[in-house]
Amino acid sequence: MELSSKHHDDRLRVHAAGEMTIYHAADLKPALLEILDRSDAIELDLSGVSELDTSGVQLLMLMKREAVAAGKSLALSGHSPAVLEVFELLGLGGWFGDPQVLPASAKGRAAA
């Protein structure tokens, strides 16, 4: 799992790549929370996420909740197919409230 960040105007763009799974969860948690500390507006680009499991979903949810609690904005973007599949299964699209770009073949109900 790699996180690389870049500042765009006043937003922090973070690109996540690799597996967001239980194997990396212990390292990922502090890394994600640390990003929250660095900026008030963060965009987390998930296009490079190859695998996402329950522990990864939890961390994303934790990060989102912390961000809302601290009055910061956290936007997820560029959902990779692995992320989309999990979000669709768990009905999380609405929970995060970010626009998701669905591939043409995906079923329509995920965006709800």
Partner 1 sequence: MNLDLGEALQTFFAESRSLLQDMEEGLLRLENTPDDAEAINAVFRAAHTIKGSAGLFGLDDIVAFTHKAENVLDRVRNNELPLTEGLIGLFLACRDHIERLLDITVDGTEMDTDSRRQGETLAAQLSQCMGNDATTLPAETEAPVQSVGGGQMAGDTWHISLRFGQDVLKNGMDPLSFLRYLATLGEICHLTTLADALPVAAEMDSECCYLGFELCLKSEVDKARIEGVFEFVRDDCQLHILPPGSRVADFMQLIETLPENNTRLGEILVACGALTQRELDESLSIQECESARQEAPQPLGEILVDRQMVQPELVDAALSKQKEARNRQAQEAQFIRVHADKLDSLINLVGELVIAGAGVGLQAARNKDGVLMESVSGMARLVEEIRDGAMRLRMVEIGETFNRFRRVVRDVSKELGKDIELVISGAEAELDKTVVEKIGDPLTHLVRNAMDHGIESAQVRLSRGKPAQGTMRLNAFHESGGIVIEVSDDGGGLNRERILAKARDKGLIQEGDNLADGDVWKLIFEPGFSTAEQVSNLSGRGVGMDVVRRNIEALRGTVEIESHEGLGSTFRIRLPLTLAIIDGFLMGVTESHYVVPLDMVLECVELNTCGDGSGDCDYLNLRGEVLPLLRVKQHFNLEGRSSRRQNVVVVTAAGRKAGLVVDELKGEFQAVIKPLGQIFAQVRGISGSTILGSGEVALVLDVPTLLDEAARVGSSGVTV
**Token duo for residue 12:** 């922090």
- CA gyration radius for the chain? 13
Sign of CA dihedral 69, 12, 93, 62: negative
Residue ranges in 9-48 that form contacts with partner 1 under rule CB under 8 A: 22, 25-26, 28-29, 33
> Minimum CB separation from partner 1 for residue 9, in Å?
27
**Token duo for residue 10:** 């006043």
Stretch that binds partner 1, among 10-18, 54-62, 72-80, 97-105 (CB under 8 A): 54-62
Report whether 18 contacts 1 (CB < 8 A): yes
CA distances to 38, 76, 103 from 81, rounded to whole Å, are: 28, 14, 8
94 or 99: CB nearest partner 1: 94
Using CB under 8 A, pick the residue from 16, 35, 44, 86 that binds partner 1: 86
Q: Tell me which residues touch partner 1 (CB under 8 A).
A: 22, 25-26, 28-29, 33, 51, 53-55, 57-59, 61-62, 65-66, 86, 89-92, 95, 109
